[in-house]
């Protein structure tokens, strides 16, 4: 799910810091938003680590032999995910408890803000953890497939159920002893043992993380209707902001054009003025007055001529 708050910030020309929201308890809300930012940061870190884990899974599966550095890198990434997930989960649970205990403030504005922020981040947390679980499951299935192919090459065929029993035992010695009975080569055995260790480590991680976020997943499921309404409202808000920005730009453009027209009308047209090289003391007359004077002189001249002809 995209972070709609960031979209709203990006679409608006008004700095977020300049918007004042009346809140009943400003100090408490400041602390709340600090927790929200920490949770958001943890979720972003998990998302980045999941992408890195998927790359390492691909490297391990494509390598002919197990590489210790790759295994160490994967363990580091896995631990980072566990740490960030644990922190995010604990903060989400803490906020959930606060929301449940403050029953007298259920209808207040800041309570609605807290509920919506908590619901959105809880859903985002479950989404990123589900993506990680899917990557782990895919890696496990492909690792198990590699073991099955190695056994098939050596002439030992196993059903999926038999292979699962061997893997679920978790004891590497028992697992290897069961395979060595088929008389496979040492190199093939090393490959199978390496894949088995990968699966054992993976299953331990899957169980830890499942226990960590299953209660958050149940919370999100129960809040499904509320989260859908929040996202719908945010989509509408983004649309309103986009239209408002577009209308503001149009208004600014019209204002600029109107200003240019006004300035053009107020600027005298010096090309229609008399020549500026007239003797000092001669007043330069704008076009409309000059025309009137010329017409007056012309009528006087015609009148004088007419008078002279009559007397003659």
83: its two tokens:
């740490």
Domain that holds residue 287: 272-311
**In the predicted model, what is the mean pLDDT of the chain?**
71
CATH number of the domain that residue 206 is part of: 1.20.58.70
286 compared with 220, residue with greater pLDDT: 220
- Report residue 304 CA to chain centroid gap: 89
- Could you tell me if residue 305 is inside a domain? yes
| Same domain? 98 vs 177 | yes
Average pLDDT over residues 233-262: 53
Average pLDDT over residues 239-266: 55
pLDDT tens digits for 206-221?
888 877 778 788 878 7
| Same domain? 182 vs 261 | no
Average pLDDT over residues 182-187: 62
In this structure, is the dihedral angle defined by the CA atoms of residues 160, 161, 163 and 168, taken in order, positive or negative? positive
Please say whether the beta carbons of 231 and 8 come within 8 A.
Answer: no
pLDDT tens digits for 218-244?
878 776 554 455 445 444 434 444 554
For residue 235, what are the contacts with CB-CB under 8 A and spacing of at least 6? Answer: 4
| Same domain? 142 vs 161 | yes
Distance of alpha carbon 189 from alpha carbon 192, whole angstroms: 5
| Same domain? 260 vs 173 | no
| Same domain? 156 vs 297 | no
The last residue of one of the domains, among 193, 222, 251, is 222
* Burial grade of 293 (CB within 10 A; 0-12, 13-18, 19 or more): exposed
| Same domain? 259 vs 276 | no
| Same domain? 263 vs 304 | no
| Same domain? 34 vs 118 | yes
- Could you tell me if residue 243 is inside a domain? yes
Distance of alpha carbon 147 from alpha carbon 195, whole angstroms: 7
Among 57, 130, 134, 92, CA closest to 223: 92
End-to-end CA distance of the chain: 105
| Same domain? 246 vs 285 | no
| Same domain? 61 vs 136 | yes
**The total number of structural domains that make up the chain:** 3
| Same domain? 162 vs 242 | no
pLDDT tens digits for 37-85?
999 999 999 999 999 999 999 998 888 777 889 989 999 999 999 999 9
Residue 158 has pLDDT above 70, yes or no: yes
- Could you tell me if residue 13 is inside a domain? no
Distance of alpha carbon 184 from alpha carbon 229, whole angstroms: 60
68: its two tokens:
């210790």
- Could you tell me if residue 261 is inside a domain? yes
Which pLDDT score, from 0 to 100, does residue 9 have? 46
| Same domain? 42 vs 181 | yes
């Amino acid at each position: 799910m995209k972070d709609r708050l960031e979209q709203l910030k990006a679409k608006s020309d008004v700095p977020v810091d300049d918007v004042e929201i009346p809140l009943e308890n400003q100090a408490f809300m400041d602390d709340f938003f600090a927790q929200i930012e920490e949770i958001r940061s943890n979720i972003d870190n998990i998302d980045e680590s999941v992408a890195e884990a998927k790359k390492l899974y691909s490297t391990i599966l494509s390598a002919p032999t197990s590489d210790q550095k790759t295994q160490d890198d994967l363990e580091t990434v896995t631990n980072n995910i566990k740490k960030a997930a644990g922190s995010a989960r604990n903060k989400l649970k803490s906020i959930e408890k606060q929301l449940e205990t403050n029953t007298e403030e259920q209808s207040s504005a800041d309570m609605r803000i807290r509920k919506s922020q908590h619901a959105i981040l809880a859903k985002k947390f479950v989404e990123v953890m589900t993506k990680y679980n899917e990557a782990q499951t895919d890696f496990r299935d492909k690792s198990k497939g590699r073991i099955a192919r190695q056994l098939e090459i050596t002439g030992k065929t196993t059903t999926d159920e038999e292979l699962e029993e061997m893997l679920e035992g978790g004891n590497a010695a028992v697992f290897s002893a069961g395979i060595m009975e088929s008389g496979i080569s040492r190199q093939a055995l090393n490959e199978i043992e390496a894949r088995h260790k990968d699966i054992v480590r993976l299953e331990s991680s899957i169980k830890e993380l499942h226990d960590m976020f299953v209660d958050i997943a149940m919370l999100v499921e129960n809040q499904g209707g509320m989260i859908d309404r929040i996202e719908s409202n945010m989509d509408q808000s983004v649309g309103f902001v986009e239209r408002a920005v577009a209308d503001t730009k149009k208004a600014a453009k019209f204002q600029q054009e109107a200003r240019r027209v006004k300035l053009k009308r107020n600027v005298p047209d010096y090309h229609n003025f008399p020549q500026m090289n007239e003797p000092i003391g001669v007043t330069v007359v704008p076009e409309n007055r000059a025309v009137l004077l010329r017409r007056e002189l012309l009528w006087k001249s015609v009148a004088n001529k007419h008078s002279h002809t009559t007397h003659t």
